[in-house]
Amino acid sequence: MSLTSASIPLLGFAAYSGTGKTTLLEKLLPKLTDMGLKVAVIKHAHHNFDIDQEGKDSYRLRKAGASQMLISSRFRNALITETPDEETTCQQLINKLDQTELDLILIEGFKQLPSTKIELHRNEIGKPWIFPEDENIIAIASDLKADSELPQMDINDTDSITQFIVDYVKQHQHKQQSDLSANCDELSPAFLSVSQGRAKILEAITPLNSQSDVSLVESINALAAQDILSPINVPQHNNSAMDGYVICGDDLECESYTVVAEIMAGHSYDRPLQHGEAAKIMTGAPVPENGHAVIMREQATQEGDQVRFDAGKSGIRKGQNVRLAGEDLAIDQICVAKGSRITAPEVGMLASLGIASVPVIAKTKVAIFSTGDEVQAPGEAQKANSIYDSNRFTLTALLQKLGCEVIDFGIIEDSEAALESTLSQASQQADMILSSGGVSVGDADYIKTILDKLGNINFWRINMRPGRPLAFGHIGDTPFFGLPGNPVAVMVAFLQFVEPALRKLQGEDNWQPETFTAIAKEFIRSRTGRTEYSRGIYSINQNGQMEVVTTGKQGSGILRSMSEANCLIEVQPEVESVDIGQKVTIIPLSSRV
486: contact with ligand AMP by CB under 6 A: yes
Residue nearest to ligand AMP (CB): 485
Least Cβ distance, residue 483 to ligand AMP (angstroms): 8
3-state secondary structure 422-455: HHHHHHHHCCEEEEECCCCCCCCHHHHHHHHHHC
Residue 372 as a binder of Mg ion (CB under 5 A): the answer is yes
Smallest gap from residue 389 Cβ to Mg ion (A):
11
The C-alpha angle 14, 19, 22, rounded to 5 degrees, equals: 80
Burial class (CB in 10 A: 0-12, 13-18, 19+), 484: buried
Three-state SS for 485?
A: coil
* 438, 466, 467, 536: which one binds ligand AMP (CB under 6 A): 438
Q: What is residue 554's DSSP assignment?
A: -
**Residue 437 contacts Mg ion per CB under 5 A:** yes
Under rule CB under 6 A, residue 437 binds ligand AMP:
yes
484 touches Mg ion (CB under 5 A): no
Q: Is 512 helix (H, G, I), strand (E, B) or coil?
A: coil
Cβ of residue 587: shortest distance to ligand AMP, in angstroms?
Answer: 23
By beta-carbon proximity to ligand AMP, the closer residue of 403 and 438 is: 438
Contact track, Mg ion, 439-478, x by CB under 5 A: ----------------------------------------
Q: Write the single-letter amino acid at 213.
A: D
Convert residues 374-403 into a mask of x (bound to ligand AMP by CB under 6 A) and - (unbound): xx-----------x-xxx------------
Q: Does 531 bind ligand AMP (CB under 6 A)?
A: no
Q: Which long-range contacts (CB under 8 A, 24 or more apart) does 553-561 make?
A: 555/488, 556/465, 556/466, 556/467, 556/484, 556/486, 556/487, 556/488, 556/489, 557/486, 557/487, 557/488, 558/487, 558/488, 559/390, 559/394, 559/487, 559/488, 561/488, 561/535
Interacting partner of 484 out of Mg ion, ligand AMP, none (Cβ under 5 to 8 A depending on kind): ligand AMP
Contact between 183 and ligand AMP per CB under 6 A: no
Cis before residue 235, ω within 30 degrees of 0?
A: yes
Kindly state whether residue 9 participates in binding Mg ion, applying the rule CB under 5 A.
Answer: no
| CB-CB contact of 308 with 300 (8 Å) | yes
Scanning 246-254, 361-369, 479-487, 583-591 for contacts with Mg ion by CB under 5 A, the matching segment is 479-487
CA torsion sign for 456, 473, 448, 426 is negative
Chain residue whose CB lies nearest Mg ion: 372
Closer to ligand AMP at the Cβ: 168 or 388?
Answer: 388
Question: Which helix (H) or strand (E) element contains residue 418?
Answer: helix 416-429
Coil, strand, or helix at residue 307? strand
Residues in 506-525 at the binding interface with ligand AMP, rule: CB under 6 A? none
Smallest separation, CB 115 to ligand AMP (Å): 24
Alpha-carbon Rg for the chain, nearest whole angstrom, is: 36
Residues that bind Mg ion (CB under 5 A): 372, 437-438, 485
Residues that bind ligand AMP (CB under 6 A): 370, 372, 374-375, 387, 389-391, 436-438, 440, 443, 484-487
